A and B are shown apart, each in its own frame.
Chain A
Amino acid sequence: MTPMTARRRRPAAGYAVVLLGLLIAGAGYAAITEAGSASATGPNIAASAQVSQGRAIFLEECATCHGQFAQGVPGVAPSLIGVGAAAVDFQVSTGRMPAKEPAAQQPRKSPQLTPPQIKALAAYIASLGGGPPVPTSGQVNAHGANAGFGQQLFTADCAQCHNFDGAGGALTYGKYAPPLTKATPTQIWEAMLTGPEAMPVFNNTTITPQQKRDIIAYITQTRSEPNPGGFSLGRVGPVTEGLVAFLGLLLFMVLAAMWITAKHRKTPNE
């Protein structure tokens, strides 16, 4: 038996061969798909370079669920014709789209596309017709807005789902109103205007742009409010505070009572 044969017959050799095979297959597949996506950018129907770039990104990232022409697939994903650039910017910049897998609700995660890619994708979807545009930074600038009035509006029409300070809350069948702790002013604006997922739409004629800025001012200002006592406890109001106080103090008092009354030493009398 040669030394080479001996090495081939060791038990670990089998695993090593399988691993190697998988690596080669994976790398080859990646190379093929890379080439395929590159070729998709070739034929273009749209006029501007940005729209064609957006079309390419769409085919790569979105078409599997939303269909080749963004027409939607019943039971899988909605049509994106007419949703507008604001909806695209909201969904993609919050990382909700492209989705990893179908779910009751997509969680916020780090964005999968770069800002120029998002811009191109939004331009392509907007080119299909209709929908609100992405707001300018000046439109969403809440500097000087009335956060107090924003609170009044927020408590009337937002707080029922998002909680009074934007901590979020549960809805039905796994859906939920997300916490607003990370949403940027642009994303808050876009969410109000487009009504992503289960959220109602608050268009600019019912909640005016100035009122939207007031609401943004309230949401962003609330984040910097101090937490008296040092712990936020989720900032969902007195319920958690009461629960923590009740359970924590109850446990403490039971343990203290046990310690005070415990007999741990025998005495000569016993």
Chain B
Amino acid sequence: MSDSTAGHGPGEHEPGHDLAAGGGETQAAEGAARRRVIGTPSPARSRMLLAETAAGSTAGLPEVREPELPADPQDMDDAKRAERIVAACFVLAMLAGFGFIAAYLIFQVHTVTGTWHSNLALGLTMGLSFGFMGIGATIWVRRVMPHVDQVEMRHPLRSDPEAREAFAETFADGTAASQFVKRPILRRTLIAATVPVAVAPIVLLRDLGPLPGTVLDHTVWRKGMRLLTYGANTPIRPADFSSPGGMITVVPDGFQDDFNALAKAAVIIIKFAPGEVVYTTRSAPADGFTVQNWTVDNIVAYSKICPHVGCPAALYEQTTHHILCPCHQSTFDATRGAKVIFGPATRPLPQLPMTVDAEGFLVAKSDFTEPVGPSFWERGNSS
């Protein structure tokens, strides 16, 4: 369809068409005589052809060839209106393009706010420019060009027998000329040269390792390590954390700025009113697991890392004593050893065994007694 807009004259078709049709020389001659539009191909392929056809046109060949495409749309009035709209779109696109240049010069990017303004202005002007160009082009195609359905027949992808035979001959000749068969030392050293290239990717697989070993089973919490409030890094006495309904994020002393360690070692502590905590539901005695009271003065410490996929589970509702994970709504009952009561988590939040040291500050009794965070292959029983 774009062929028809490349030039209005019927003389501007591919030369193959002209030759196949055996006509059109007159039109070609006329096209050459007319002032050619900038950016459109010359109607003539060469001066020789032009001379021939110009000469041929005098031989009284058919004057008008039936064009494959109608040159004009059916509704000329509508096309005229559309032409104005398209031109207006292109003018707006041009103005927006100049606006882009102006925005680049006006908005400086040395501040955060300045960068925002610059990005907004540059994006808007560029978007408007391209947008108006696209809208204009679409209206051009839809309303100015004649509307014609064209069919291009498929042809087999396989080359014709002559071309295939010629290629086989060329290949055989080239192989002989290259001496590839006659000189085995060249052939073999070339093959040897490619071997390391093929092997290298296999060796690079080593970077997938090493295996994590038991790293995932432990955190940095150790016996006697103080619990520090996150941010302020102050140790906590039970008397300081005395308001029932209180909750705060704590980190291990010495690792408060080690984000790799905190990714697993972050803990929340929760203060309950007397009698609210139920100790015995953490694990049934039938499991052979000794139920221990790891709380201090009704303060309980749970891992902040959700055992589902590792989000920070710390939405604590002090009225219901539920801990929620914001990612998938796993809900844990903080009074019952963080038992799962809703959501996709399969096991409770690990509890940090806790006691107080000689100075009365909260300290860990040991590391977590189970791996924190999501399940992993070597963890075994996932519940």
Chain A residues within 8 Å of B, Cβ to Cβ = 149, 152-153, 156-157, 160-161, 169, 171-172, 175, 177, 195, 197-203, 205-208, 211, 226, 228-230, 259-260, 264-265, 267-270
Knowing A160-B314, A228-B116 are in contact, say whether A200-B231 is a contact too (CB < 8 A): no
Q: Which of B94-102, B187-195, B214-222, B234-242 contacts A (4 or more CB under 8 A)?
A: B234-242
* B 315-327 binary contact with A (CB < 8 Å = 1; else 0): 1111110101010
Q: Which of A157, A199, A229, A264 has the most CB of B within 10 A?
A: A157
B246 contacts A267, C-beta separation under 8 Å: no
Given contacts A153-B231, A201-B245, A228-B119, list 8 more A-B pairs with CB under 8 A: A152-B231, A156-B230, A160-B312, A160-B315, A201-B243, A207-B248, A230-B120, A268-B74
B326 contacts A269, C-beta separation under 8 Å: no
B119 contacts A211, C-beta separation under 8 Å: no
The count of A-to-B residue pairs whose CB atoms sit within 8 angstroms is 100
A260 contacts B138, C-beta separation under 8 Å: yes
Chain B residue nearest to A199 in the complex (CB): B318
B74 contacts A198, C-beta separation under 8 Å: no
Chain B residue nearest to A262 in the complex (CB): B142
Does B355 interact with chain A (Cβ within 8 Å)?
no
Knowing A157-B249, A160-B314, A161-B315 are in contact, say whether A206-B229 is a contact too (CB < 8 A): yes
Contact partner of A269 (CB less than 8 A), chosen from B148, B242, B246, is: B148
Q: Which of A199, A200, A230 has the most CB of B within 10 A?
A: A200
Alpha-carbon distance between A270 and B120 when the two chains are bound, in angstroms? 47
Alpha-carbon distance between A174 and B322 when the two chains are bound, in angstroms? 14
B120 contacts A198, C-beta separation under 8 Å: no
Alpha-carbon distance between A265 and B318 when the two chains are bound, in angstroms? 67
A206 contacts B318, C-beta separation under 8 Å: no
Alpha-carbon distance between A160 and B249 when the two chains are bound, in angstroms? 11
A175 contacts B248, C-beta separation under 8 Å: no
**18 sampled A-B residue pairs with Cβ under 8 A:** A153-B231, A153-B232, A156-B230, A157-B248, A160-B312, A160-B314, A171-B317, A172-B322, A172-B324, A195-B245, A200-B316, A207-B229, A211-B231, A211-B232, A226-B113, A260-B138, A264-B142, A267-B147
Closest 6 CB pairs of A and B: A200-B247, A205-B240, A228-B116, A198-B317, A201-B243, A203-B243
Chain B residue nearest to A161 in the complex (CB): B315
For chain A, what secondary structure do more than half of its interface residues adopt (helix, strand, loop), or is it mixed?
A: loop
Alpha-carbon distance between A229 and B123 when the two chains are bound, in angstroms? 10
Alpha-carbon distance between A197 and B75 when the two chains are bound, in angstroms? 72
User: What is the distance, in angstroms, from A171's C-beta to the closest C-beta of chain B?
Assistant: 6
User: What is the distance, in angstroms, from A37's C-beta to the closest C-beta of chain B?
Assistant: 32
A200 contacts B318, C-beta separation under 8 Å: yes
Q: Which of B147, B242, B249, B322 has the most CB of A within 10 A?
A: B147
Does B26 interact with chain A (Cβ within 8 Å)?
no
Alpha-carbon distance between A198 and B324 when the two chains are bound, in angstroms? 12
Alpha-carbon distance between A229 and B127 when the two chains are bound, in angstroms? 14
Does B244 interact with chain A (Cβ within 8 Å)?
yes
A259 contacts B248, C-beta separation under 8 Å: no
Knowing A211-B232, A267-B147 are in contact, say whether A200-B138 is a contact too (CB < 8 A): no
Contact partner of B236 (CB less than 8 A), chosen from A175, A199, A206, is: A206
Alpha-carbon distance between A169 and B315 when the two chains are bound, in angstroms? 10
User: What is the distance, in angstroms, from A109's C-beta to the closest C-beta of chain B?
Assistant: 21
Q: Which residues of B contact A199 (CB under 8 A)?
A: 318
B246 contacts A206, C-beta separation under 8 Å: yes
Alpha-carbon distance between A161 and B312 when the two chains are bound, in angstroms? 11
* B 87-118 binary contact with A (CB < 8 Å = 1; else 0): 00000000000000000000000000100100
B243 contacts A267, C-beta separation under 8 Å: no
Does B162 interact with chain A (Cβ within 8 Å)?
no
Q: Which residues of B contact A197 (CB under 8 A)?
A: 319
